[in-house]
Structure 1
Amino acid sequence: MPPASRQVGKEARPKALDDSLKPYPITAAVESAMAVAKRGADELLVEADFLQKLARSEATGQALRIKLGLDPTAPDLHLGHTVVLNKMRQLQDLGHTVIFLIGDFTAMIGDPSGRNATRPPLTREQIEANAKTYFEQASLVLDAQKTEIRYNSEWS
C-alpha cells in the first residue's frame, strides 16, 4: 500500500520551480486534487510546481487563486470556453478561488497590429455589455458566489 504522504524536495523539483517554496507533504488529499486538475488536461506545465502549490494550500489552509482571463470581444462565450470553465469549477469545488479576469483594456485596443479584423477596438459601452454577458454565461458553470471578478484595466 502506498504511503499516505510523500515529500517533494529540491532534488525532485525542476529548475523552473521557485526555490523559495518550502516543500510541503504530498498527502492523499493533495494527490486527489492533482488528479482532478489533470483530468481532461493535455498537459500541466511544471507539474511539480502545481503539486507543491496544492500541498502548500492544504498545509496552510490558504486557497489557491486561479485566474481565467477573457477579452470581451463579442457578446457570447463559445463552446471552447466550457473546457476551461469546467476545470475552473472543479478547482472551486476543491476550495480554491477563481478570478474571472475581464480583458477590458485589451478589448479596447483590439488587435494593435491591424492584421486581425475580428478584433477591432471596442467602445467602453460595448466592452461593458460583453463583459456582463460573459459573466452571466460563465456563471452557468462557475459558482458565482465563489468567483472574483477583476478587470485588467485595474493594472494598466
Structure 2
Amino acid sequence: MTSLSRTAVGVLGAAGIVASSLITAPTAQAASGGGCAQYSEGYQRATYVDWKSCLSAPRPGIGRPDAYVTLRSGHPACKIVVRVLRTGDSKVMSLKTYDCPSGGIRMQRFAAPDFRGDNAVPGRAYATYTSIMWTGSQTATLPLKSPWLKLP
C-alpha cells in the first residue's frame, strides 16, 4: 500500500468514527425563537420613549425576560411593566413593574424574574410584553412583544 493510500484510509477511518459518534450522540434540546423587538412611542410628534422587549433562554427550560428603555428628559411620569405570557391560555409566567426614573435614561435594562417553561404541554411558546404606563394621563403604550420563544 502506498503512503498516499494509507493516508486516505486513515482520514476515511477517522471521518467514520466522527460520523458514528455524531449519529449515536444524544440530541441536545435547544430553545428556538426569542430575541428582541424594538418600538417607539410619543405624543404630538415628540418621541418620549424607545424600547426593546426581549426574551432569551440562558439555560434549557428557563426563560429570561427583559426590556431596554430609553426615555427622553421631560417625559411624563410613568411605570415600566415587563411581563411574559404563554401561548394557549395567556398565563402570566413572569411580571415586574418599575417606576420610571424622573430624568432621561438611555437603553437602561429592566428585567422580570426568570421563569421555568411548561414542557408538559408541547408546542408552548412565550413572549415578553413590555408597556409604558403614563401615570398622569392613565394611558399606556400598547403592550408590544418580543419574538416568540419555545423552550425545550
Q: Place the TM-score, normalised by the shorter chain, in its bin.
A: under 0.3
- Richer in helix (by share): 1
Using the size of structure 2 for normalisation, the TM-score is 0.26
Q: Which has the higher contact order (CA 8 A, sep 6+)?
A: 2
Q: Which has the larger Rg?
A: 2
